[in-house]
Amino acid sequence: MFYVFLIVLICILVEEVSASVGMGYNSLAGWDVGVTNGRIWDMGAAWNQIHMGVDTYNWDNLDAIVGQMQSLGMSITYVISACPQWLAKYPNNPYPAPWLGPGSNSMPSDMDEANKFFWNLSTRYAGRIQAYEIWNEPQLSDFLYPYNDVELGDLATMTKRAYSTIKTCDGGARIVAASLLPRASSGGMSKASKYLDAIRANGWNVDLFNCHIYPNIGEGPDVWGSMLSDCRGTIASYGAPSGEVWVTETNFDLLGSTISEEAAPGYVDGAYAQAGAQGVTEVYWYGWDTTASLGGLDIRSGTSAWAAIKNHGAQMQAKASVNATSVI
């Protein structure tokens, strides 16, 4: 009995100090070891790039991505977003993200057909994908249009269907709410609250929440921390069943200049310090080797930003080991 208690205590201590090194990617090229959590989005494996027609699926890209992430020991989050045009309620919706195409920013016209995708997805990858994020950045018209009570109600209904189906097919999977955007230019938490209203009215049906934190160009970790606090505070004000929050995308000076090698570690360390102070352990950077198109932190093998991120992960693992050893 004592040994059982000891093992449980060790696990608790390790969990309290552990933190992820999360990453988003745009391709399968040039990855390094050290990432613990991978998020699948913008990789050619969105919903509309898999679900080709009624009962017709192409899993090739997603199989390759999941396989590579597994080979590196990552915990995997898949984003369910980008409705196929043939299934879209508004197949010719304005403002879709160009790389996702027409209809991708619409809700599905047939929730039963959408549910088939959830069932096939979570059955195929049961035990291999650990979390499913239900929709990407609905506050932006690129990903959801129009942003009104009707469409948000549909998103809440879809979330409920996905929650029930995925939990049936893979009881260990976690369901992550759609990404909230606390930056004012994206509508901030006032706009995000409309989404929270919708999923609360439908019974929540999520295990945790998440946000994307992109301070304006020139802003640093202090603003990063304020955005995270705003997001967490708003969620807490709703009395949600879970107060857990992940940051599933983040960077600094996005769409601006590349942050210098000298300055980059300060941004990385500052973000982790802000997250740690608020008890947030899951931080995913966006993204790996994306500077040529997005600017910001240059995260790839050999850069100071990646060295700082990787060092953070090593420090957390070392703390976990020390705490476990001290208990023994």
Tens of pLDDT, residues 276-294: 999 999 999 999 999 999 9
The answer to whether 84 and 103 are in contact (CB under 8 A) is: yes
Q: Does the pLDDT of residue 298 top 90, yes or no?
A: yes
Q: What is the pLDDT of residues 150-206, one digit of tens each?
A: 999 999 999 999 999 999 999 999 999 999 999 999 999 999 999 999 999 999 999
Determine the Cα–Cα distance for residues 106 and 90; give it in Å rounded to an integer.
6
- Environment class of residue 55 by beta-carbon count within 10 Å: exposed (0-12), middle (13-18) or buried (19+)? exposed
164 Cβ contact list (under 8 Å, min separation 6): 205
Residues 112, 307: Cα–Cα separation, whole Å: 46
Domains and their CATH numbers in the chain:
22-316 (3.20.20.80)
The pTM is what? 0.92
Banded pLDDT at 40 (limits 50, 70, 90)? very high
